[in-house]
């Protein structure tokens, strides 16, 4: 009887070991950890893009609101010229826009002139760009750095957020399949 | 030469001393106190081991600005924390809310302490019981002799 009690810590330890090893080898976790262990899941999944009224980067006299982002399944890319990772992923967005993916930009805490020059130099994959110099829309979107990329449906509801540079791998494994699923769903609903 | 080294060391310290100072105006001292209270309870989503009061990250500056704005609007501490949780998730709370998912977090330490006490009490009682029984049943003559011989053998060895 006494012997059995002595074994309890060992059994607990082995149980924890199994739990940790299982979590470590979990495919889903592995993917998340490989990308960025400090990435936070968005608290806004399933919620609509928060309301805002901010100037367009290309036409400062035009005020853009959340309704301007509705109508099609799209990506919202939070970017800035001070963000080196944004430069690294810019080519990918040019490519995606070339393939017909709708991309909206949020120019996050940036300088207007610098942002325009950037788009002239590197190409403009964005259907429109919202200027968010104070980061107020950023706060409402739960943005805590750049780049971040949201996936929204035609009603402007947020379905996914990716933190960090979007490249072929991220698109093929994470954003692309979700984007395609939303497109397929929208098509099914229009053609019953 | 050593003076120069000191100068360099002091310069290295300068950014630490400069961290997270902004100028905010408050209407009352109570507001100022609440500003520090709330911003030290909110965790910075970027530099994840700091609260937004200490962090120098741009996002922490933005969030402090939001806290300040909401304080002046007359929002209470809970409303401000809820605003942040709505946008950044439960992660931003340094003081986790009491939900079914955080029950273990809140109560496990107290439960473990209690468990330890219970085990301690059981062990002490058992020992006392054994001592009492020994006192109630003293050794017989034979047993005493055996004890004596065992002790002597120990000494010889």
Closest by CA position to A169, among listed A80, A72, A86, A89:
A89
Per-residue pLDDT of chain B (157 residues; tens, 9 = 90+): 567 777 777 676 665 544 455 678 888 899 999 999 999 999 998 888 899 998 888 899 999 999 999 999 999 999 999 999 999 988 899 888 888 888 888 999 999 999 999 999 999 999 999 999 888 888 888 888 998 999 988 777 6
Q: What is the pLDDT of residue B1?
A: 59
Does the ipTM surpass 0.85? no
Handedness of CA B94, B100, B106, B109 (dihedral sign): negative
Q: Kindly report, residue by residue over A10-31, the tens digit of the pLDDT.
A: 999 999 999 988 877 776 655 5
Alpha-carbon gap: A146 to the closest alpha carbon of chain B (Å): 10
| pLDDT above 80 (res A191) | no
Alpha-carbon gap: A186 to the closest alpha carbon of chain B (Å): 27
Q: Is the minimum CB–CB distance between A13 and chain B shorter than 8 Å? A: no
Candidates A41, A44, A145; nearest CB to B59: A145
Residue in chain B lying closest to A136 (CA): B62
Alpha-carbon span A128 to A105, nearest angstrom: 6
All residues of chain B having their beta carbon less than 8 Å from the beta carbon of residue A82 are: none
Tokens 């806004």 sit on residue: A44
All residues of chain B having their beta carbon less than 8 Å from the beta carbon of residue A38 are: 48
Candidates B58, B66, B87; nearest CB to A142: B87
Q: Provide the 3-class DSSP secondary structure of residue A8.
A: helix
CB A73 within 8 A of CB A154: yes
Q: Distance between terminal CA atoms of chain A?
A: 68
- Residue B124 CA to its chain's centroid (Å): 30
Beta carbons of A144 and B48 less than 8 Å apart:
no
Sequence-ordered alpha helix ranges (H) in A26-123 = 27-35, 84-98, 112-122
All residues of chain A having their beta carbon less than 8 Å from the beta carbon of residue B69 are: none
Tokens 């490519």 sit on residue: A95
User: Across all residues in chain A, what is the average pLDDT?
Assistant: 90
Closest by CA position to A107, among listed A131, A91, A140, A88:
A131
Q: Is the minimum CB–CB distance between B46 and chain A shorter than 8 Å? A: yes
Q: Kindly report, residue by residue over A92-143, the tens digit of the pLDDT.
A: 999 999 999 999 999 999 999 999 999 999 999 999 999 999 999 999 999 9
Residue in chain A lying closest to B45 (CA): A144
Q: Which tokens in the block code for residue A106?
A: 């949020």
For the entire predicted model, the pTM comes to 0.75
């Amino acid at each position: 009887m006494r012997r059995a009690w002595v074994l309890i810590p060992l059994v607990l330890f082995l149980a924890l070991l199994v739990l940790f090893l299982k979590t470590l080898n979990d495919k889903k976790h592995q993917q998340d950890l490989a990308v960025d262990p400090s990435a936070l899941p968005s608290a806004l999944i399933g919620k609509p893009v928060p309301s805002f009224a901010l100037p367009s980067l290309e036409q400062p006299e035009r005020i853009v609101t959340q309704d301007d982002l509705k109508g099609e399944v799209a990506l919202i890319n939070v970017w800035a010229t001070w963000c080196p990772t944004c430069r690294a992923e810019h080519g990918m967005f040019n490519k995606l826009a070339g393939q017909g993916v709708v991309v909206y930009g949020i120019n996050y805490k940036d300088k207007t002139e610098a942002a325009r020059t950037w788009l002239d130099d590197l190409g403009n994959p964005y259907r429109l760009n919202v200027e968010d110099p104070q980061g107020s829309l950023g706060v409402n979107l739960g943005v805590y750095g750049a780049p971040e990329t949201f996936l929204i449906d035609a009603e402007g509801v947020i379905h996914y957020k990716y933190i960090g540079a979007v490249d072929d791998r991220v698109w093929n494994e994470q954003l692309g399949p979700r984007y395609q699923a939303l497109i397929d769903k929208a098509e099914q609903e229009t053609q019953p | 030469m050593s003076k120069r080294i000191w100068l360099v060391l002091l310069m290295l310290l300068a950014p630490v001393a400069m961290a997270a100072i902004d100028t905010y105006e408050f209407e009352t001292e109570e507001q100022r106190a609440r500003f520090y209270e709330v911003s030290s309870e909110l965790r910075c989503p970027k530099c994840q081991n700091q609260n937004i009061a200490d962090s120098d990250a741009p996002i922490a500056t933005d969030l402090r600005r939001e806290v300040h704005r909401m304080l002046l609007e007359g929002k209470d501490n809970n409303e401000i924390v809820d605003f942040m949780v709505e946008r950044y998730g439960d992660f931003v709370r340094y003081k986790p809310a009491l939900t079914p998912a955080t029950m273990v977090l809140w109560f496990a330490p107290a439960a473990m302490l209690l468990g330890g006490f219970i085990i301690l009490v059981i062990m002490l009682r058992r020992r006392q019981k054994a001592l009492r029984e020994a006192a109630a049943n003293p050794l017989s003559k034979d047993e005493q002799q055996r004890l004596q011989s065992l002790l002597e053998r120990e000494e010889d060895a």
